[in-house]
Amino acid sequence: MDLPFDRPSPVTRRWRVTGWLLAGVWLFFLNIPLFTAVHQAQPWRRAVGVGTLVAFGVLYVLIFQWARNLRQAHRPIPVGQARASVGLLLALGLAGIPGTAGDWLTTLVFVAAAAVFLLPPVDALVVVVLCALTPPVAAALVPGWEAESTVVFAVLLASFAMFGVSRLAQRNGELRAAQAEIRRLAVAEERARTARDLHDILGHSLTVVAVKAELAGRLLELDPARAGTEIADVERLARQALADVRRTVGAYREISLSGELAGARTALAAAGIIGDLPDDLPTLPAAREELFGWAVREGVTNVVRHSGARRCVIRVHPDRVEIADDGRGPAGPQPPGDGGHGLLGLRERGGRLDGTVTVGRRPDGTGFLLRVTVPVEQR
């Protein structure tokens, strides 16, 4: 299912406007060549200068937005298209020479900045060095052009500034990706928790309901009054299971060890299994008591459903809880990841307290033993 927070957050209108402003504000520095172009005596030079500068500015903004959108989408900037874009900017700057004369060198500031934002580091460094060397070299080779030290400084400054902007954009993209991954993992964890709780709650309740319904069916002709009592218990258990599901969905579900032991006594008796349960319980931290309650619920559910046992023994110690029976036992060794959804959920719960879940035969080689152990120092 595609949840709203599984998708990347949409870019807000405010952020889009900010992006256009970041690209457009630097066009102010084209005022020098634009002033030169506007004051050309010959109309065609004026037209060439103004036209190329307008095209240069529009192209620069579009290129900046194109690259920025790719970064926000966590997609790489195609190197070939990036090189072509930088080359086109340089070509427009050169094409404006008839109208801007030596002031066209100002466009090199934008070419260098675009190279830093678009190109791989080595390519960008080459472009920046060439842009910084062009003003003094052009002044030496072209009569009437003055050496523009301010352009060299502006090229270097703009390159460093754009390097910072590009790194910031990259870090912001990585941060958004990390946030999206955190949201995805949170959704996955919540789904696993809900599935685990529903399995543990309904698995136990429905097992007891099935056992009592079967018992009521056998007693229907022999002892109708007792059968009616069992049917009443079935109704009560069904309503309790429904309430448990609602509390679980609302994240209000709480498990107590004493409550689970009382439920285990009832379930074992209904299944005709002798229950040897403790009368006194040690004082336990809340988290450990809840874990041991889940262990009793899962263990007794498996005893009633699968074991064919005649006797079930439950022992609770400060560091562990054990549920053992004299039934058929496991068919073979139980790998750590085996045992179905219930034991998998129990292992996940135990792992949060650095606990271990052991499943297998009893020490005498018979029956079945479920043991959940938590270090005593765990609080």
Kindly state the average pLDDT of the residues 251-272: 79
Which of 60, 36, 30 lies closest to 49, judged by CA?
36
For 356, the enclosing helix (H) or strand (E) is strand 356-360
- Please determine, for residue 175, whether its predicted confidence score (pLDDT) is greater than 80: no
The token pair at 231 is: 């049917």
Interval 56-101: pLDDT, tens? 988 988 888 888 888 777 788 899 999 999 999 999 989 988 988 8
Of the two residues 227 and 126, the one the predictor is more confident about is: 126
Helix intervals (H) in 73-148: 79-95, 97-100, 107-118, 121-141
pLDDT in tens, 315-373: 999 999 999 999 887 665 555 544 556 788 788 888 888 899 999 888 888 889 999 99
Higher pLDDT, 40 or 168: 40
Between CA 342 and CA 295 the distance in angstroms is 9
Q: Which domains does the chain have, with CATH numbers?
A: 4-182 (no CATH), 273-379 (3.30.565.10)
Share of the chain above pLDDT 90, in %: 16
Confidence label for 147 from pLDDT (cuts 50, 70 and 90): low
pLDDT at res. 340: 57
Residue located via tokens 């889009």? 16
In degrees and rounded to multiples of 5, residue 356 shows phi and psi of: -125, 145
pLDDT digits (tens, 9 = 90+) for 240-259: 777 676 666 555 456 788 88
Which residues sit opposite 323 in a β-bridge? 314, 370
Record the pTM: 0.47
With cut-offs at 50, 70 and 90, classify the pLDDT of residue 277.
Answer: very high
Partners of residue 363 on adjacent β-strands: none
Work out the mean pLDDT of the chain and round it to a whole number: 79
**What does residue 359 show for φ and ψ, rounded to 5 degrees?**
-130, 135
Q: Which long-range contacts (CB under 8 A, 24 or more apart) does 208-216 make?
A: 208/237, 208/263, 208/266, 208/267, 208/270, 208/304, 209/234, 209/237, 209/238, 209/241, 211/267, 211/270, 211/271, 211/304, 212/237, 212/270, 215/270
